[in-house]
Amino acid sequence: MNFMLKAQNAILYECGFSCDNVIFLKFGDEAFFVTDGRYETEAKEQIRDAEVVVANRRNMYPKVASLIKDAKVKKIVYDPKEWSVYDFENLAKEVEKVEFKKELDFSHKRRIIKSETEIELLKEAAKFGAKAFDNFATFLKTEGCGLSERRLHYEAQNILKNYGEFELSFSPIVAVSQNAAKCHALPLDRVLRDEDLILFDAGIKYGGYCSDRTRTSSFNSEINFKKDQSFSSKKIQKAYDTVLKAQERGIKEARSGKKANEIDRICREVIEKEGFGDLFIHSTGHGVGLDIHELPIISKESETTLQEGMVFTIEPGIYMPGEFGIRIEDTVVITSDGCEVIGR
């Protein structure tokens, strides 16, 4: 198969190295990593199974076109999500006789089944991510009371990074009480007080692979991010217990051969039965790998059949605007005999 890539993680997957200015070409057994002189040394040191080709930093397309012409290929697969109209048109006009075939999520489809090596990296990422949750809980016990969400967000990033040891999977979500009703809440000036609800969604990268985890807790002197939580509000407690039950049911039922939409339905039915159905406003999960959002998607619409080696989140939630939000999330891997939560 002949294909070309532009997304950094798609390229990293193919050859072990990537950067912010590269086009990757694969023609049968030949592969070319086209970049500029700034990355030449690192690329040659780290790349596998590809030839490093140095091109003009501001216009790599003539060099890329020359490689395509030399290979005498007639068709190249590409993912249009990776390319701007400007970039694609600049390349296409250089090689007018070549057919560029669109395939959405091309790289994500190649990466949907994780290898044993990838799963081990994901487990390590999840392990270190879970440790960071414990460290953040310790910080909250000793210094969190009275700090704003903005300050808590800043401190959470430092704890997750562990003084530069890790990169973040994404900018963490630290949301207090009413702000937690926003699925992807941005930090505000609202300060943390005793008995507040706090939602923490975060992850780190290990070996390029992401962790992703969410916990919702009650803030007090004994705060932790375990799943067993007690809230002073009966309304919040009922919603929390419902989300936890939905998540546990989804994890129990996830296995090879099941459809992704079945797992979404199972989680959603638990929440609907308790009267919160309209307040579960997102899909149940998403794939995790080099990107924080990959395939498979665990949603109402997804007809994907789960297979051994797929890694994804199960993260049902309830969001009551102006009051509170609850989400509980773990990353799981489909195994030969069911489903395993990684990084407990």
Cα separation, 196 vs 219, in Å, equals 5
DSSP string, 17-65: ---SSEEEEEETTEEEEEE-GGGHHHHHHH--SSEEEE--TT--HHHHH
Segment 225-230 mean pLDDT: 96
Reported confidence tier of residue 343, pLDDT bands at 50, 70, 90: confident
Is the separation of the CB atoms in 203 and 127 below 8 Å? no
Q: Is the pLDDT of residue 344 over 80?
A: no
pLDDT at 137: 98
101: left (phi over 0), alpha (psi -120 to 50) or beta: beta
Mean residue pLDDT of the chain comes to: 96
Q: What is the pLDDT of residues 328-340, one digit of tens each?
A: 999 999 999 999 9
Residue 333, classified by CB atoms within 10 Å of its CB into exposed (0-12), middle (13-18) or buried (19+), is buried
Q: What is the pLDDT of residues 77-117, one digit of tens each?
A: 999 999 999 999 999 988 988 999 999 999 999 999 999 99
Share of the chain above pLDDT 90, in %: 96
Q: Please give the radius of gyration of the chain, using alpha carbons only, rounded to the nearest integer.
A: 23
Q: What is the pLDDT of residues 53-66, one digit of tens each?
A: 999 998 999 999 99
pLDDT at 190: 94
* Superfamily covering domain 116-342: Creatinase/methionine aminopeptidase superfamily (3.90.230.10)
Q: What is the dihedral of CA 98, 102, 107, 109, to 10 degrees?
A: -130
Q: Quick one: which of 275, 297, 272, 271 has its CA closest to 284? A: 297
Is the separation of the CB atoms in 111 and 289 below 8 Å? yes
The CATH fold of domain 2-110? Creatine Amidinohydrolase; Chain A, domain 1 (3.40.350)
In terms of pTM, does the model score above 0.75? yes
The encoded tokens of residue 269 equal 């039915």
Q: In the chain, where are the structural domains located? A: 2-110, 116-342
Q: What is the pLDDT of residues 282-314, one digit of tens each?
A: 999 999 999 999 999 999 999 999 999 999 999
Is the separation of the CB atoms in 325 and 180 below 8 Å? yes
Pairing of strands 51-54, 30-35: parallel
Angle between helices 234-253 and 260-273 (to 10 degrees): 150
